Structure 1
Amino acid sequence: MSPKRIPMAAVDRSWLRMDTPSNPMMISTVLVFDKPIAINRLRHLLNERFLRFQRFRQRVVDEGNKVYWQDDPLFDIDNHLHRIALPGKAGKAELQALTSDLNSTSLDLRHPLWQIHYIDNYDGGCALLIRIHHCIADGISLVRVLLSLTDKTPEPHKQTTFPSRPRQQSKSSTISKFLHRVLDTTEAATHQARLFIQSVREEPNYPLKLISTASDVAADLLKLGLSPFEPKTCLKSPLSGRKQVAWAEPLDLAEVKACAKALGGTINDALLCAATGALHRHFKASKEVIPDCGIRVAVPFNLRPLNQPIETLGNQFGLVLACLPVEIEDPVMCFRQVQENMTRLKQSYQAQVTYSLLDLFGRGPDILERRALDLLSNKASAVLTNVPGPKEPVYLAGSKLIQPMFWVPQSGNIGIGMSIFSYAGTVQFGITVDKAIHADPNAVMGYFRESFEAMSHAALAGRHENIKRQAS
């Protein structure tokens, strides 16, 4: 008897189809620990906590018009867990080179789509290099999965599974759900009609709100389709498929908070401004003409309910095109513009629109998705992700996690991915760049810190001046 097949969700199928030789659709993570982990203990931990998620035992069965998840009858953890050592000095440069090489290599579709490399004797401890295909889950979900492998103390405690709280659906989520599921199956459409009738009974002016929301969604869809292509810069060129990764030394989260507070904005605004300043410095260093209308980056926007059970994997996010004002040199003016741009995006339905498009593309022919992907990828120069991590240090098999980095995949002809991750009072910043793009990832990491320090100095100096002015 053949193993049971489970149809792959349309949105996840879209991410599977995006996989190309030049842009493998993998989320990649490097976790650095303070001391070595016994490989047998790691294998036991993976069997106990990681493989309880059935998806990591399942392979993809692609029959063209239909795609399924199916239990791998020959599953063996040794096909996925590899123990290696770095060459030479076995330092940061060697780890970045290994990560670059593996991130340029696609996962094997004959097996479940994940790999873990255990790296011996790195910086007095060890490191894990984890690659998981995007069709399995999005970044937020995978962070939750990886955190489920860890403990709050060096000695593991028995994990308790808490029942998920019943999800209470707000009127706004009902509207969003009605809109982006309207192209679903007849059964789903009937369910949406039932929700609509129920909402009308509960709130007499609900149809008017729905019409207004539909109008806003249509406007955002039109804006997305009519937005111009990205300007031709050194950040856009035909891709080679060979990746280069780098990461910066972590920032102090308290300093980032103080900077954001002094400027009257959010931590996210401050970090996006630092990334903008880093790209501004890159343009100047490479003597490239800086676009006078900025550049756009695709930013994932989480649509996953916070109380959703961790076992619910898959992709539940939309993309918004955020404009980074790289033409503005003054850090405070740059911050104000970033803040304004992000406020405008938060008030739009662009994330819901792109999620619905991915859902639609996953149901249609492959050529439709390819053409739409080419169209959308011409409207962004990079992908930028900001994912929150745990506020306190965590331990895996008794070893303390001291630095986590991750890299998001890019799609179409986008060759740059930037990732921001907060962990235990620090902010980690990483980048991946296609080798065909003339940008030194380590130099950009240096520019990121320089940009943040300039912004922080200007913010605190401005606050000091305000205090003096108020005192006088």
Structure 2
Amino acid sequence: MKQDREPMSAVDTAWLRMENDNNLMMIQTVLLLEGPLDLGRLRSVLEQRLLSFSRFRQRVVMEKEHAYWQDDPGFNLDNHVHRVGLPGKADMHELQAFCADLISTPLNFHHPLWQMHIIDRVDGQHSAVVCRIHHCIADGLALVRVLLSVADTTREGDRQAPNGDRPYHHTSWLERGRHLAHDLIEEATELVRHPDQLLELARAGWSAGAELARVTLQPRDPPTCLKRSLSGRKVVGWAEPLDLEAVKDVAHALDGTVNDVLLTCATGALRSWLLEQGDDVTQDLNVAVPFNLRPLDKPIDTLGNQFGLVLVRLPIHLASARSRLLEVQKHMRDLKASPQPWVFYGMLVGLGQGPDALEQAALEFLSSKASLVMTNVPGPQKPLYLAGARILQPMVWVPQSGGVGMGLSILSYAGTVQFGVVADQNLMTDPQGLVAHFHRSFEELASLVHAEQG
């Protein structure tokens, strides 16, 4: 191995190899800003803060099936930061179309895998920043926190550069994942030799092997329009955010959490939208939800992927909003004690160390168990400023993989909750309909509270 190369971790390699023509492995964020953006000041901020993380200066180099990080000898910020204009009225519709085009376009693997587009005069008075970063660099939560660490708490700027590339002193998630992958293989072997152990493992509840068996034995998700073949072209949509205090009030009144309420809103939105498509909603859907394994109370001092996945069942068969909430609450309580996140993380470590063909086969099998991906990212609850411009409204989308073609995103920021959709064009042509149903689903829960309180 050449001295100037750093081996990519197994789990990051797994995410790198998931990319295909239909699903690009990019995390995309959009920041709507108040007023114009000073490009010179932004470049200075990026040089001081974002580039303190070596991954944003390194390209991916492949040798057979092994991936490495290597400093880009011709690194130039101009290859990554672009100022563009929108056509026509340059309104939100045009911004969404631009975002959809970017999220459907691969990054350039000859350079570090990120890009930032600066857009002036959005809706005549705002500006926007659209950032694309490959999933092999880091998971969505880490990247959102890194991007927000580039921002300031005042217009003048009062933050210091993040401590990129510091020695990592926390628990080695990768090492733990390797051990888990080994344990999964051992337990799977024992299950084949002694099938009667399956029941005992399932009764134990916490066994990684039992959880893997449970996920594997789940039936495929129902054949709704979400299971159509994919085109590789995406559409995106979002709307005005919800008031976080209003969401908290509804959650408190219904003896639930904010997460319970938002999942219930997503369930109601999907049910209404699927009915409009003429789909059968008598069978529930599974949604793959990233589960953070990174300490939230610690600074981001290293990148990479440190999260697992859980399969969350959305009770779309229930017509009553109250019934959907109760079912979501029950399912989330069951998942809190589940080892599912570690199971999926360990599986990714194992797949990243194995041949690409094995990973692709496993990915296709696992994607049959879910119909969409959904993320819920907690953001800062005070306004932030990027190069002196106030961030009004952020949005983030994580990629889908395998045969999954839709992603829902929830992001809280400065007292608001933002909901967004990304989907393959073969699944939907206008995502705003689903976004509108999300808001109506929340209004349904709020009306339920008002009726009960008299």
RMSD value over aligned CA atoms? 2.5
3-state SS of 2:49 partner: helix
Give the aligned partner of residue 450 of structure 1. 440
- Alpha-carbon shift at residue 215 of structure 1 (Å): 6.0
Residue among 260, 270, 278 paired with 2:251: 260
3-state SS of 1:143 partner: helix
- Alpha-carbon shift at residue 140 of structure 1 (Å): 1.1
- Alpha-carbon shift at residue 50 of structure 1 (Å): 0.8
Give the aligned partner of residue 207 of structure 1. none
Distance 2:183 2:6 in 1: 21
Question: Do the aligned residues in 2 keep the contact of 1:27 with 1:409 (CA within 8 Å)?
Answer: yes
Distance 1:63 1:162 in 2: 31
Corresponding position: 1:239 with 2:234:
no
Give the aligned partner of residue 386 of structure 1. 376
1:74/1:183 CA distance change after superposition, 3 Å: farther
3-state SS of 1:235 partner: helix
Distance 1:64 1:233 in 2: 38
- Alpha-carbon shift at residue 457 of structure 1 (Å): 1.1
3-state SS of 2:96 partner: helix
Distance 1:360 1:36 in 2: 47
Residue among 220, 225, 230 paired with 1:229: 220
1:262/1:214 CA distance change after superposition, 3 Å: closer
Deviations 1:65-120 (A, max 9, x none): 31100000000110111110101000000000000001001111111000000001
Question: Do the aligned residues in 2 keep the contact of 1:165 with 1:307 (CA within 8 Å)?
Answer: no
Distance 1:5 1:113 in 2: 16
Q: Which amino acid in structure 2 is aligned with residue 354 of structure 1?
A: F
Question: Do the aligned residues in 2 keep the contact of 1:244 with 1:432 (CA within 8 Å)?
Answer: yes
Give the aligned partner of residue 155 of structure 1. 156
1:37/1:225 CA distance change after superposition, 3 Å: same
| Residue identity (%) | 50
Give the aligned partner of residue 283 of structure 1. 274
- Alpha-carbon shift at residue 459 of structure 1 (Å): 2.6
Give the aligned partner of residue 296 of structure 1. 286
Distance 1:333 1:62 in 2: 51
For the pair shown, which has the larger CA radius of gyration, 1 or 2?
1
TM-score, structure 1 as length reference:
0.88
Corresponding position: 1:38 with 2:38:
yes
- Alpha-carbon shift at residue 460 of structure 1 (Å): 3.3
Give the aligned partner of residue 333 of structure 1. 323
Residue among 352, 357, 367 paired with 1:362: 352
Q: Which amino acid in structure 1 is aligned with residue 95 of structure 2?
A: L
Question: Do the aligned residues in 2 keep the contact of 1:26 with 1:409 (CA within 8 Å)?
Answer: yes
Question: Do the aligned residues in 1 keep the contact of 2:202 with 2:210 (CA within 8 Å)?
Answer: no
Question: Do the aligned residues in 1 keep the contact of 2:149 with 2:162 (CA within 8 Å)?
Answer: no
Give the aligned partner of residue 11 of structure 2. 11
Deviations 1:17-59 (A, max 9, x none): 0001110000000100001111111111111111111110000
Give the aligned partner of residue 109 of structure 1. 109
Give the aligned partner of residue 431 of structure 2. 441
Give the aligned partner of residue 400 of structure 2. 410
Give the aligned partner of residue 196 of structure 2. none
- Alpha-carbon shift at residue 306 of structure 1 (Å): 2.5
Distance 1:324 1:399 in 2: 39
Question: Do the aligned residues in 1 keep the contact of 2:29 with 2:395 (CA within 8 Å)?
Answer: yes
Question: Do the aligned residues in 1 keep the contact of 2:29 with 2:394 (CA within 8 Å)?
Answer: yes
Question: Do the aligned residues in 1 keep the contact of 2:181 with 2:347 (CA within 8 Å)?
Answer: no
- Matched positions, count: 435
Give the aligned partner of residue 94 of structure 2. 94
What does 1:62-81 align with in structure 2 at a 5 Å threshold?
A: 62-81=62-81
Distance 1:168 1:6 in 2: 20
Distance 1:324 1:39 in 2: 43
Distance 1:19 1:266 in 2: 35
Question: Do the aligned residues in 1 keep the contact of 2:226 with 2:406 (CA within 8 Å)?
Answer: yes
Question: Do the aligned residues in 2 keep the contact of 1:282 with 1:439 (CA within 8 Å)?
Answer: no
Distance 2:259 2:387 in 1: 32
Question: Do the aligned residues in 1 keep the contact of 2:177 with 2:345 (CA within 8 Å)?
Answer: no
Distance 2:22 2:380 in 1: 33
Distance 2:445 2:386 in 1: 36
3-state SS of 2:226 partner: coil
1:136/1:255 CA distance change after superposition, 3 Å: same
Q: What are structure 1's unaligned runs of at least 5 residues? A: 185-209, 466-472
Q: What are structure 2's unaligned runs of at least 5 residues? A: 185-200
3-state SS of 1:100 partner: helix
Q: Which amino acid in structure 1 is aligned with residue 136 of structure 2?
A: C
Question: Do the aligned residues in 2 keep the contact of 1:167 with 1:307 (CA within 8 Å)?
Answer: no
3-state SS of 2:65 partner: coil
1:78/1:3 CA distance change after superposition, 3 Å: farther
Corresponding position: 1:306 with 2:257:
no
Distance 2:262 2:297 in 1: 27
Worse overlay, 360-369 or 31-40: 31-40
1:33/1:175 CA distance change after superposition, 3 Å: closer
TM-score, structure 2 as length reference:
0.91
- Alpha-carbon shift at residue 286 of structure 1 (Å): 1.9
3-state SS of 1:320 partner: strand
3-state SS of 1:340 partner: helix
3-state SS of 2:225 partner: coil
Distance 1:131 1:403 in 2: 17
Question: Do the aligned residues in 1 keep the contact of 2:178 with 2:346 (CA within 8 Å)?
Answer: no
Worse overlay, 151-160 or 293-302: 151-160
Distance 1:113 1:267 in 2: 34
